[in-house]
Structure 1
Amino acid sequence: MFQLQWISAGVIVGMLIACIVVPPTRKQIAVPSPHDTDVFHTDTGCVRTHAIEVPCGEEADSFNLLASLGKK
Structure 2
Amino acid sequence: MITETYNTYAVIIAVENYQFEISKVDYANNDAQAFRLWLIDNLKIPHENIKLWIDADATKSALTEELRYEISRLN
Q: Would you say same fold, with TM above 0.5?
A: no
Please identify which structure carries the higher strand content: 2
- State the TM-score, normalizing by the size of structure 1: 0.31
Q: RCO (CA 8 Å, sep 6+): is it higher in 1 or 2?
A: 2
Please identify which structure carries the higher helix content: 2
* Rg larger for: 1
